[in-house]
């Protein structure tokens, strides 16, 4: 990267009452504690845990020295954080942030957002110089519909909502659907020999999905090595005649979320079917198989998120499998 932490324009300490610097591995407990305190008040559907933050610090494409920001009070307690992420060839960056509830309404959220925007501009300039992309800088941030204070902050800084997503649940206590796999196809549990073929299948399946970018080997490794990933509950559909991956579903299970929400959910992180295999009931078979795996693992609910404008008709598919929307989130965007 042709820039470093020293070149960052950090939020003003006098204005915010916080000392600002990039996050390090020594901050993991402090950082995770901030997010957990905030979540205890704001009750998000999901929030980053210590393991997720450790993953973030390992990224080579988004080095923490220039992609993370912590705000510390005079006692060294983390009171605010922000981060950005961008693929070098990508046409957008994404942002995440939170402010300790006791420190909100002091302009700190705005200060973090301004820092994020400036870091995104720097990243896009660096990627343009390196010949990776000529796209204009753009920042996307996702919020849950229930968090109106976040929407107010973003709208006040010129962001507009560009996409809506539904979190959907399917109780496993109800009769499970029957969706057998068609002839000539084989279903297997995800294992390391399938990691790379599934990555390639994912990039093919998601080429027509809004906001999706191809996952390189590092990004895919992070996906598969997420602390909550459950490969034993994930499955792959193969065409034995060619050895091709026709479709897949990747599952996670978060025991902390189960404690917070009062039920155990098997969450379908990714579900994809390659174009050449669509229309053969593969997605239905994968979901029905996932529900049986979840039930066998003692789960109460099957869950997933879906883009409300998904071009493959995924919302109708999930409704037909017994899923129902329970929460909504939106993606905000601003051209910088």
Domain of 96, CATH number, reads 3.40.630.30
| Domain total in the chain | 2
Considering the domain architecture, whether residues 153 and 172 belong to the same structural domain is answered as no
Tokens describing residue 21:
């610097």
pLDDT confidence bin for 257, thresholds 50/70/90: confident
Considering the domain architecture, whether residues 81 and 193 belong to the same structural domain is answered as no
Domain endpoint, select from 115, 140, 158: 158
Considering the domain architecture, whether residues 187 and 138 belong to the same structural domain is answered as no
Considering the domain architecture, whether residues 258 and 280 belong to the same structural domain is answered as yes
> What are the pLDDT digits (tens) for 266-293?
999 999 999 999 999 999 999 999 999 9
pLDDT confidence bin for 3, thresholds 50/70/90: very low
pLDDT at 313: 66
Considering the domain architecture, whether residues 35 and 141 belong to the same structural domain is answered as yes
Other CB atoms within a 10 A radius of the CB of residue 98 amount to 23
Domain endpoint, select from 158, 192, 217: 158
Task: Judge whether residue 214 has pLDDT over 50.
Answer: yes
Task: Judge whether residue 312 has pLDDT over 70.
Answer: no
pLDDT at 1: 39
Residue 138 three-state SS: strand
Rounded Cα–Cα distance for residues 59 and 85 (Å): 9
Task: Judge whether residue 31 has pLDDT over 70.
Answer: yes
Average pLDDT of every residue of the chain: 94
pLDDT confidence bin for 158, thresholds 50/70/90: very high
**Of 222, 214, 288, residue with least CA distance to 52:** 222
Considering the domain architecture, whether residues 107 and 196 belong to the same structural domain is answered as no
Give the residue numbers spanning the domain of 175.
165-335
Rounded Cα–Cα distance for residues 249 and 226 (Å): 15
Rounded Cα–Cα distance for residues 316 and 308 (Å): 10
Considering the domain architecture, whether residues 131 and 183 belong to the same structural domain is answered as no
**Of 317, 236, 306, residue with least CA distance to 269:** 306
> What are the pLDDT digits (tens) for 293-311?
999 999 999 999 998 766 5
Q: Mean pLDDT, to the nearest integer, of 140-158?
A: 97
Which run of H or E residues covers position 14? helix 13-16
**Contact 8/83 with Cβ under 8 angstroms?**
no
Domain endpoint, select from 132, 158, 184: 158
Share of the chain above pLDDT 90, in %: 88
Considering the domain architecture, whether residues 190 and 154 belong to the same structural domain is answered as no
Task: Judge whether residue 156 has pLDDT over 50.
Answer: yes
Task: Judge whether residue 62 has pLDDT over 80.
Answer: yes
Task: Judge whether residue 183 has pLDDT over 70.
Answer: yes
Considering the domain architecture, whether residues 125 and 184 belong to the same structural domain is answered as no
Considering the domain architecture, whether residues 134 and 210 belong to the same structural domain is answered as no
Considering the domain architecture, whether residues 174 and 313 belong to the same structural domain is answered as yes
**Contact 99/109 with Cβ under 8 angstroms?**
yes
Considering the domain architecture, whether residues 196 and 286 belong to the same structural domain is answered as yes
Task: Judge whether residue 4 has pLDDT over 90.
Answer: no
């Amino acid at each position: 990267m042709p820039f470093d932490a020293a070149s960052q324009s950090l939020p003003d300490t006098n204005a915010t009452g916080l000392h600002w610097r990039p996050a390090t591995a020594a901050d993991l407990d402090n950082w995770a504690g901030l997010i957990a305190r905030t979540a205890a008040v704001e009750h998000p559907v999901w929030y980053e845990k210590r393991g997720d933050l450790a993953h973030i610090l390992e990224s080579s494409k988004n080095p923490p020295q220039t992609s993370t920001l912590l705000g510390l009070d005079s006692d060294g307690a983390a009171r605010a954080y922000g981060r950005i992420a961008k693929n070098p060839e990508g046409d957008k960056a994404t942002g995440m942030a939170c402010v300790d509830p006791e420190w909100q309404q002091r302009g700190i959220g705005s200060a973090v957002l301004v820092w994020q925007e400036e870091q995104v501009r720097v990243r896009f300039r660096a990627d343009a110089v390196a010949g990776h992309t000529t796209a204009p800088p753009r920042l996307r941030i996702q919020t849950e519909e229930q968090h109106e204070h976040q929407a107010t902050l973003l709208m006040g800084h010129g962001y507009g909502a560009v996409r809506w997503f539904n979190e959907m649940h399917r109780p496993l206590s109800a009769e499970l659907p029957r969706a057998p796999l068609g002839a000539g196809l084989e279903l297997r549990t995800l294992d390391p020999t399938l990691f790379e073929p599934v990555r390639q299948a994912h990039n093919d399946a998601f080429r027509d999905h809004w906001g999706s970018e191809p996952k390189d080997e590092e990004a895919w490794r992070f996906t598969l090595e997420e602390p909550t990933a459950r490969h034993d509950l994930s499955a792959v559909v193969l065409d034995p005649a060619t050895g091709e991956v026709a479709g897949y579903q990747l599952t996670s299970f978060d025991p902390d979320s189960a404690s917070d929400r009062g039920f155990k959910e098997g969450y379908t992180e990714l579900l994809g079917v390659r174009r050449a295999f669509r229309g053969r009931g593969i997605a239905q078979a994968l979901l029905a198989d996932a529900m049986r795996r979840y039930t066998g693992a003692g789960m109460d609910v099957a869950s997933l998120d879906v883009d409300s404008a998904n071009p493959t008709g995924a919302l109708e598919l999930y409704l037909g499998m017994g899923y129902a929307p329970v929460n909504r989130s939106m993606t905000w965007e601003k051209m910088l």
